[in-house]
Each structure stands twice: as structure tokens, then as C-alpha cells.
Amino acid sequence: MYTLSKTQAQTIVDRMMKDIPYNINIMNHTGIIIGSGNSNRIGSVHHGAVKAIEQGHTVEINEDEEFAKKGINVPIDLNGEIVGVVGISGEVAETRPFGNLLKSAVILLINQSIALEKETSKNSLKQEFFHLMINTDTHYTNEFIQRALRYEIELTKPSQVLYVESYTKISEQITNYISTFTISTNSLCVVIQDDNQLNNIIQAIRIKNSNTLLSVSKWNNTIAEGFLQAKSAIRILRGLNMDERLIYYSNCELIADMLTSLKSNNQLDHSLQLLKLDEEMIHTLQIYLNCNLNLNETASQLMIHRNTLSYRLNKIHSITGKDPKKLLDRIELIFMLIQRIK
């Protein structure tokens, strides 16, 4: 039997009382008031509701009683079972026309709530599976392999991971692909096991959101390994603010792996003076590197005077201790730019 919750019942009452000028009570399957326009009545037994449950039809009360106000009490039946009662307090002749209307509205709201609960549960199970799938310690048991098939993933086959990141909220529906999983409100992970699918999925994503950043892992025997590769590649794309919006791990493998190995290195953390720069300075450094150190082109893209650019580069040197014009210092600055991305 479906069980009405107190929160659900009160939500229904509050919503319906905006349109119906009478006090409304919602009782559970035992006749206890769990939602009401009169909060003092919540938790008490409604005798009119008890009668309606016992008799299986609407009970009308023409006079106020000790434990029930005059009005009508209509059973709420769901799939052949009475899950509760909706009561409207007032003169019977006045409240009667609202009875079936209110009952239908309540059943509709309950069905919507049930559908939402099922969808929430479905999404929760999918997220639980996703976090297990990208965990390097997860073993592919027979049960887990069978579970993956629900999302059209064959864990015994090699796979690629496509990491999708947007500057705005993004939905799994952007790919229309069942093997797409939510990482956060603005990032997704897509598991690909057919080499012919990758370009089509990338194209579909770009059509719906041209501002996405994309990274692609190598082919791996485990999805967890592919996820780490794609995630580390997109950090490079974001950190350097490159002109490209698509990066392949295979094209930046050395840098990505070095950054991964240095992630817990205290010496690198200690040198992250770049974090003391404001966004304007960071953006200036990114454009300077992307313009291959061409001062004129950098100044043009930033729409500033060349002297202003020189001032900013000198300021970056002063704050970080690293000169963007010197090769070794520039390499460290590149690592800092990427390492600051979580």
C-alpha cells in the first residue's frame, strides 16, 4: 500500500486551499489527520475519515461532532486500495460539489509525487553506479557487470571516456545517450565503446551547447582509468584557456601524468604563488602563452597597449618569482596554471 507522508499531505492541502475557500484535511489510511489548514488538528483521529475508510465511500457529516467537523470526507483510492481520505469542512451542500474534484486533484498530485520519487530513486541508483564505476578499487563482479548492462555498458569491453564541461547547467539529455552520467551541474561523463560513436556524440553536444569543453581518454580496459585520463586532460584545457575546446589525453599524456604525480607534491603546492594573482593577471598570462609569446598579438587580443602588457608581465614576475619570458620559468608557470584547476 502506498503511504501518504505528512509533508506530502500538507503540500497538497496548502496548494488546494489557494483555490477552495474551505478548510481541507488530509487523513492517512487509519484516519489520522496528517495535513490540515488548521495545524492544531494534525495528529488527531478524524472519525468521519474512519467511517469513510470502513465503508469505502464518501461520508457526509451535517453537524459538528466532538471529533469531526461538518463537511464531507472522500476516500482516496489508489489501485484499488484506500490510502487516505480528503475532508472538506463546511456546509455539506456547499462542500459536496468540491468532493470529487478535490479527490481527482489529490490522486493526480499523488501520482506525480510517485513518479518523481521513482525518477529520483532511478537517478540515485545511476549516480551510485557511476561513482562505483569510476572508483579504481571497484572489482567487476558478475553482479556489477550485469548492472552495467542497464546503461548499455559492457564492462568486459575496452572503452573511451568523454568528459564534458559547460560554463552553464548541463543535462544528460544533451547527448541522448544512455551511457551518460552526471558529474556535477555543469559536467558530464560519457562512456563510449564503439569507435564510430565518438564523433557523432561530440557533434550532437556541440549543436546543443557550443560553449562546452570536451576531453577524450585513450581506450582502456577499465572506465575508472579512462575517467582519470579525461579529467586530467580537461584540467589542461581549462588551466591554459586554450583556443581549442576539444583535447585528447593522448596528445597531452606526458604533462597530464606529470601533473597527476605532482598533485600531492608539497614543493609544487608551496610554489603556487600564481594563486595570488587576480583574474586579470591570470588571463593575461594565458593569452600570452597562447599567442606564443608574441607581445603585439597578445596586446591586440587583450585590447590593451603593449606597455600595459609589459607592466602586467613584470607584475606577474614580481608576484610569482617566475618570469614568463624565460623558458624554465615559463614551464613552471604553465604547471601552476593547470595545477590550480581542481
Instruction: State the CATH number of the domain containing residue 49.
Output: 3.30.450.20
pLDDT at 8 (0 to 100): 85
pLDDT band at 234 (very low <50, low <70, confident <90, very high): very high
126 within some domain: no
Most confident of 5-19, 213-227, 254-268: 213-227
Helices (H), 134-216: 142-148, 197-208
- Which strands form 180-184's sheet, in the order they lie side by side? 180-184, 187-192, 160-165, 213-216, 246-248
Most confident of 33-47, 146-160, 322-336: 146-160
The last residue of one of the domains, among 71, 99, 116, is 116
Examine the domain organization and report whether 253 and 314 are in the same domain: no
- Strand pairing partners for 77? 82
Q: What is the mean pLDDT of the chain?
A: 88
Please give the Cα distance from 341 to 325 (Å, whole number): 23
Which residues touch 193 (CB under 8 Å, ≥6 apart)?
153, 154, 157, 158, 159, 160, 179
pLDDT at 268 (0 to 100): 54
pLDDT at 191 (0 to 100): 96
Of residues 57 and 106, more confidence is placed in 57
pLDDT at 16 (0 to 100): 86
φ, ψ of residue 118 in degrees (nearest 5): -65, -45
Overall average pLDDT of the 209-213 stretch? 88
pLDDT band at 187 (very low <50, low <70, confident <90, very high): very high
Cβ(288)–Cβ(324) below 8 Å: yes
In this structure, are strands 187-192 and 81-89 parallel, antiparallel, or unpaired?
Answer: unpaired
Considering its fold, how many domains does the chain have in total? 3
123 within some domain: no
Query: Is it the case that residue 267 has pLDDT exceeding 80?
Result: no
132 within some domain: no
pLDDT at 241 (0 to 100): 87
The last residue of one of the domains, among 60, 81, 116, is 116
CATH of the domain at 150: 3.30.70
Stretch among 105-119, 121-135, 258-272, 311-325 having the lowest mean pLDDT: 258-272
Structural domain of 252: 142-261
pLDDT at 264 (0 to 100): 58
Examine the domain organization and report whether 257 and 294 are in the same domain: no
Examine the domain organization and report whether 150 and 41 are in the same domain: no
pLDDT at 270 (0 to 100): 45
Examine the domain organization and report whether 320 and 239 are in the same domain: no
Overall average pLDDT of the 124-135 stretch? 95
Overall average pLDDT of the 153-176 stretch? 92
Examine the domain organization and report whether 239 and 308 are in the same domain: no
In this structure, are strands 246-248 and 213-216 parallel, antiparallel, or unpaired?
Answer: parallel
Examine the domain organization and report whether 147 and 105 are in the same domain: no
Query: Is it the case that residue 158 has pLDDT exceeding 90?
Result: yes
pLDDT at 269 (0 to 100): 54
Examine the domain organization and report whether 255 and 306 are in the same domain: no
Query: Is it the case that residue 248 has pLDDT exceeding 90?
Result: yes
Examine the domain organization and report whether 308 and 326 are in the same domain: yes
Examine the domain organization and report whether 16 and 33 are in the same domain: yes
pLDDT band at 209 (very low <50, low <70, confident <90, very high): confident
Query: Is it the case that residue 319 has pLDDT exceeding 70?
Result: yes
Examine the domain organization and report whether 256 and 286 are in the same domain: no
Query: Is it the case that residue 173 has pLDDT exceeding 90?
Result: no
CATH of the domain at 319: 1.10.10.2840
The last residue of one of the domains, among 76, 100, 116, is 116
